[in-house]
Chain A
Amino acid sequence: MYDSSELNESVRRALVLYSQSLIKVAFAYLKNIADAEEVAQEVFLAYLQKRPVFDNVEHEKAWLIRTAINKSKNMLKAGWFKSRNPVPENLSYLPAEENEVLQAVLALDKKYRIPIHLHYYEGYSIQEIAVILRAKPATVGTWLARGRLLLKEKIGGLEHEEICL
C-alpha cells in the first residue's frame, strides 16, 4: 500500500514512462488526439484514486493500457460524443507511406485495429494481447489475421512484419 508521497512519485514516474503509450492507444480507439489526451489524463487520475498495487512494471503498463481502452470505450458510448461531428485528425504532416498506413489502420473496425496497434506499436505478443483484451489467444490471432488481410486488400498490407507468438 502506498503512502501519499510514494503514490505521487509512482504516478509521476508512470506519467513520464507511459503517457505516450496511453495517448496512442486511446488515439487508435478514438481517432482524435484531443480526446485521446483527455482519456490519458483520466487514466492517471484513476491511478491516483484507486492506488493499485502492481507485481511488476509490465503489470503496471498492462493495467494502464487496459484502463485507457475502457475509458475510450466509455467515451465512445457517451451521448455527447455520438452527437458531435469531429474534425478529422490532420495527419498530412506525416510521410505519405506512413500516413496511408495509419489512415488504413484507423479505418478498420476497432476489434481489428486495437490488436494491430498493440502488436505493431507496443510489441505485445498474441498471448499478452489476449490478457490485456481479456480474450482468448485464438480470438486475438484471428483478429490480427483478418485485420492484416483487410489491410493487404486496401494498401498491400504489413506482410513484411513478423508476428511474435
Chain B
Amino acid sequence: MKKSVYKSAMSRVRTSEDFHEETYRKLMREIEKTAQPNLIHSKESLHMEKAQKRKLTGWTAGIAACAVLAIGVFAMNRNDSGTSIPPASAPTASSPAASTPSASAPAETTQPSDVASKPPIMGKVAVNIDGVITEVSEDGKSFKVGDLWVTVTDQTRMGSNEPTAAPPSEELLQKEFKVGNIVSGYTSQDVSTGKVTADVIYNNMAPQN
C-alpha cells in the first residue's frame, strides 16, 4: 500500500523539542499542589472534627439540663396540686333549700395518700347550715338539720349584716325553732362531730304551703 501522504506530512509537522520535559514538570507541579491541600485538608478536617465534637457535647449537655429542669418543674407541680386546699368561703344566706341539709365545704381537706411526707394543711372554713328542721331540743335552743345538731347560743348572730341583705323580719327569721322550719346559717366548727354551734342564723321560716 502506498504510504499515506497525509500521514507522512503530519509526521513531519514540527513540535516543541522540550514538550516532554515541560509537560512532565507541569504534571509534577500539579502532583505537589494536590499533595499540599491533602495536608491542609487533614488539619482542617481535624479542626472540624473537634468543633463538631464540642458542638455535640454542648447540645447533649443542653438537652440533659432541659430534661432535668422539666422533671423538676413537673415534680413541683404535682406536689403543689396535692397540698392545695380551697380558700375559706364567705357564708351565704341561701334561699330555702331542699329538705336535706347540706354541709358543703369541709373544715379541712385530707391529703391524698400518695403525698405522705407533708403534714396536712389546716384551715378554718365556714360551713353552711341549710335545710329543714327535723328535731328540736326541749329547751328550743338546738335543732337537727339532716344528721347535724345545731345549737344556737347568745353568741349566735341572728340575721345578716351584709350591705345588700334584706332587714330581718318575723316572717323570715322567727324567734322559735320548730320542726319543719327552713333554716339557713353557717358554722365554723367541725361538722364531722355531728354537733356544732351556729355562728350565724340567717333564716328560720315556716315552710311555704
Contacts and interface: CB of A to CB of B under 8 A. Distances in A.
A37 B4 contact: no
Contact of A37 (B15, B24, B30): B15
Given A40-B23, A41-B22, A161 B13 contact: no
B20 interface: yes
A28 B9 CA distance: 12
B13 A33 contact: yes
Interface residues of B, number: 25
Most chain B Cβ neighbours within 10 Å, of A4, A8, A120 = A120
A88 to B, nearest CB: 13
B26 A93 contact: no
Contacts of A45: 26-27, 30
Interface in A88-121: 91, 93-95, 97-99, 101-102, 105, 116-117, 120-121
A44 B25 CA distance: 12
B8 A37 contact: no
Contact of B23 (A20, A27, A44, A102): A44
Contacts of B8: 98
Interface in A40-89: 40-41, 44-45, 48-49
- Chain A interface mostly helix, strand, loop or mixed? helix
A160 B7 CA distance: 13
A16 interface: yes
A19 B5 contact: no
A98 B12 contact: yes
B6 A102 contact: yes
B20 A4 contact: no
A130 interface: no
A101 B5 contact: yes
Interface string B22-44: 11101100110010000000000
Contacts, number: 84
Nearest to B19: A37
Contacts of B2: 160-161
A129 interface: no
Given A4-B31, A41-B22, A41-B23, A101 B16 contact: no
Contacts of B4: 120-121, 158, 161
Contacts of B5: 97-98, 101, 158
A41 to B, nearest CB: 5
A16 B9 contact: no
Nearest to A101: B5
A8 B23 CA distance: 13
Contacts of A162: 1
A153 to B, nearest CB: 16
Interface in B114-140: none
Contact of A41 (B6, B11, B13, B26): B26
A145 B13 CA distance: 25
A120 B6 contact: yes
B98 interface: no
A105 B12 contact: no
Contacts of B16: 33, 37
Given A24-B13, A33-B15, A158-B4, 10 more contacts: A19-B23, A23-B15, A97-B5, A105-B6, A117-B6, A117-B10, A121-B6, A121-B7, A161-B1, A161-B2
